[in-house]
Amino acid sequence: MNKRIPLATPTVHGEEMEYIKEAFERNWIAPLGFNCDGFEIEMAQYLDGGKTQALALASGTAALHLALKLAGVQPGDKVFCTDMTFVATVNPIVYEGGVPVFIDSERETWNMDPIALEKAFEKYPGTKVVMLAELYGTPAKTDEILALCEKHGAILIEDAAEALAASYKGRKCGTFGKYNAISFNGNKLITTSGGGMLLTEDKAARDKALFWATQAREPAPWYQHEEIGYNYRMSNVVAGIGRGQLKHVDEHKNLKEAVYRRYEEGLKDLPLSMNPYLEDTDPNFWLSCMLIDEGCAVDPMEVMKVLNEHNIEARPIWKPMHMQPVFAQNDFISACEKPVDEDIFARGLCLPSDIKMTAEEQDYVIDVIKKCFEQQ
């Protein structure tokens, strides 16, 4: 195929330009402004009817960083963190001098294993913050994790960067932690080209985060600074993109699920399974992933190579953080003799999940994958 089939790219509709045009017409292209305000209000209304206090920021990473500051993480404090995730989940812990302790996954959702988390609390009983990332838009065993946090007096930070529009038992992801973060990076369900949002029901915490995000400037007639701050504000222009995108968030989610279902049907006779989820959850199916059966001789990296040769983009599963050289000295806690996320990383592959991919293009992807298994 001459046209490259991408993993995931932005999908825009036109409403975005109306908000951008207004920003230019009103000469309000600086950080913050009416689009940021509107985006925050509209996102909060979408998530839980407006109970959430939203803060539009330059990135999801910035949102996580401010969440950790609000949670009171100090140098040397341990933070229990999802192990199989993108490094942006973990880096902000280190920004504050915290020490990530990585928690293995369970097989039913590929997310943080509550049994391993309990083991972590037994080993490090003073730990007060848990960072939960929801992998590929799939909700975790959230009730069990929340119960453990309550039992041990820990704050839950929900990294819902990949999970906007997903829900657990009817409740939207990004509303379960005391502090939560979502991302609008270019390949997410909706995008602002870059950007993210901090979410909390605590208005005072939201206001404190805004203070930090605007260089911690004190309310004085001159530039007065008594704390270290950051330039984490979202641009009023890109917030306009977000407002236009938000109108299509459920449409995008439904299209992502259609991609997943076509893979599920098209690959059902092969020795593999799709990324799993719990019955009482509604993932956003941000990325469709396959997991090759144990004992099968097919190598996912070989499949990725063949797909690339056919102009199809695929990607490995997130490499677990405890396997990353930068975190080689950090503790990793598993409830299994053979770590679950090491196994998923070794046998898994992320497949093209762009919602603009046609059924014919996806059939082509499926046929290429099938051919990889014919020689086994």
Domain for residue 315, yes or no?
yes
Domain for residue 4, yes or no?
no
CA separation, residue 125 to residues 249, 296, 336, 371 (Å): 40, 41, 20, 51
Q: Is the dihedral of CA 223, 228, 229, 230 positive or negative?
A: positive
Instruction: Of 134, 130, 156, give the one whose Cα is nearest residue 77.
Output: 130
Residues 263 and 165 both lie in one domain = no
Show the domain range for 330: 249-374
Q: Across the strands, what pairs with 157?
A: 131, 179
Strands 348-350 and 315-316, bridge-based pairing: antiparallel
- CATH code for position 312: 3.90.1150.10
CA separation, residue 93 to residues 78, 126, 129, 174, 284 (Å): 9, 16, 10, 19, 26
Domain for residue 3, yes or no?
no
Domain for residue 200, yes or no?
yes
Report phi then psi at 146, rounded to 5: -60, -40
Residues 241 and 355 both lie in one domain = no
Report phi then psi at 329, rounded to 5: -90, -5
Q: Are 298 and 292 in contact (CB under 8 A)?
A: yes
Residues 238 and 255 both lie in one domain = no
Domain for residue 9, yes or no?
no
pLDDT (0 to 100) of residue 376? 66
Domain for residue 10, yes or no?
no
Write down the residue that tokens 């396959």 correspond to. Answer: 290
Q: Across the strands, what pairs with 80?
A: 101, 130
- pLDDT single digits (tens) 48-67: 999 999 999 999 999 999 99
3-class secondary-structure state, position 116:
helix
Residues 268 and 183 both lie in one domain = no
Spell out the per-residue pLDDT of the chain, length 376, in tens: 789 999 999 999 999 999 999 999 999 998 889 999 999 999 999 999 999 999 999 999 999 999 999 999 999 999 999 999 999 999 999 999 999 999 999 999 999 999 999 999 999 999 999 999 999 999 999 999 999 999 999 999 999 999 999 999 999 999 999 999 999 999 999 999 999 999 999 999 999 999 999 999 999 999 999 999 999 999 999 999 999 999 999 999 999 999 999 999 999 999 999 999 999 999 999 999 999 999 999 999 999 999 999 999 999 999 999 999 999 999 999 999 999 999 999 999 999 999 999 999 999 999 999 999 997 6
Q: Is the dihedral of CA 276, 191, 178, 83 positive or negative?
A: positive
Report phi then psi at 165, rounded to 5: 85, -10
- Domain edge (last residue) among 213, 231, 246: 246
pLDDT (0 to 100) of residue 340? 98
What token pair was written down for 278?
Answer: 């719990």
Domain for residue 229, yes or no?
yes
- CATH code for position 211: 3.40.640.10
Residues 222 and 262 both lie in one domain = no
Residues 165 and 263 both lie in one domain = no
Residues 228 and 289 both lie in one domain = no
Secondary structure letter of residue 231 according to DSSP: B
Residues 168 and 307 both lie in one domain = no
Residues 231 and 267 both lie in one domain = no
Burial of 29 (0-12, 13-18, 19+ CB in 10 A): middle
d(CA 257, CA 276): 13
- pLDDT single digits (tens) 101-159: 999 999 999 999 999 999 999 999 999 999 999 999 999 999 999 999 999 999 999 99
- Domain edge (last residue) among 199, 229, 246: 246
Residues 242 and 256 both lie in one domain = no
Q: The whole model's pTM is what?
A: 0.96
What token pair was written down for 342?
Answer: 């090491």
Residue 111: count of CB within 10 angstroms of its CB: 27
Q: Are 96 and 69 in contact (CB under 8 A)?
A: yes
Residues 253 and 236 both lie in one domain = no
Domain for residue 6, yes or no?
no
Residues 109 and 218 both lie in one domain = yes
Q: H or E segment at 144?
A: helix 142-152
- Domain edge (last residue) among 211, 246, 281: 246
Domain count, the chain: 2
